């Protein structure tokens, strides 16, 4: 989808699905992109560090993403081009709003006379 120019969004643990996703040049999709996802400290608080196969924050950083976060359990959404990521469940609504805003902007651009 991303390679086709579509907006991609992932919240909480979902950015972990980008672990093995590659850009057209073969580099990790998140390399050089501003991203967020469930933090290591939120994993610890939820007692998930020994259950999940990898920590989302560590993976995003290891794959070259420019990771940012808010305080634990606070909403935090990062948009980098057509990639929209949210830190935790509290970020779901603001991430959805960011996706809608991105789609509305794309629609407006398509409707403009050329």
Q: What is the fold, at CATH topology level, of the domain defined by 8-111?
A: Rossmann fold (3.40.50)
CB atoms within 10 A of CB 74: 11
**CA 86/CA 38 separation, integer angstroms:** 8
The pLDDT-based confidence of 91 (bands split at 50, 70, 90) is very high
Task: Provide the 8-state DSSP code for 24.
Answer: T
Going by pLDDT thresholds of 50, 70 and 90, the confidence category of residue 112 is confident
88: three-class secondary structure by DSSP: coil
**Average model confidence (pLDDT) across the chain:** 96
- The answer to whether 44 is a known catalytic residue is no
Sequence ranges of the domains in the chain: 8-111
Of the residues 19, 20, 42, 43, only one is catalytic, namely: 43
**pLDDT tens-digit profile of 59-82?**
999 999 999 999 999 999 999 999
42 catalytically annotated: no
* Known active-site residue 12: yes
Distance CA 53, CA 24 (A): 26
Q: What is the mean pLDDT of residues 16-26?
A: 96
Query: How high is the pLDDT of residue 82?
Result: 95
What sign for the dihedral angle of Cα 86, 47, 58, 23?
Answer: negative
* Greater pLDDT, 39 or 107: 39
């Amino acid at each position: 989808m991303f390679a086709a120019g579509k907006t991609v969004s992932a919240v909480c643990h979902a950015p972990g699905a980008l672990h093995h996703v590659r850009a057209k040049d073969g580099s990790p999709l998140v390399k050089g992109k501003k991203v967020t996802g469930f933090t290591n400290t939120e994993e610890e608080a939820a007692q998930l560090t020994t259950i999940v196969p990898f920590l989302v924050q560590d993976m995003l950083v290891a794959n070259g993403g420019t990771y940012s976060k808010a305080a634990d359990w606070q909403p935090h959404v990062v948009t980098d081009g057509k990639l929209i990521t949210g830190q935790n469940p509290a970020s779901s609504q603001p991430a959805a709003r960011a996706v809608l805003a991105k789609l509305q902007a794309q629609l407006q651009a398509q409707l403009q006379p050329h």
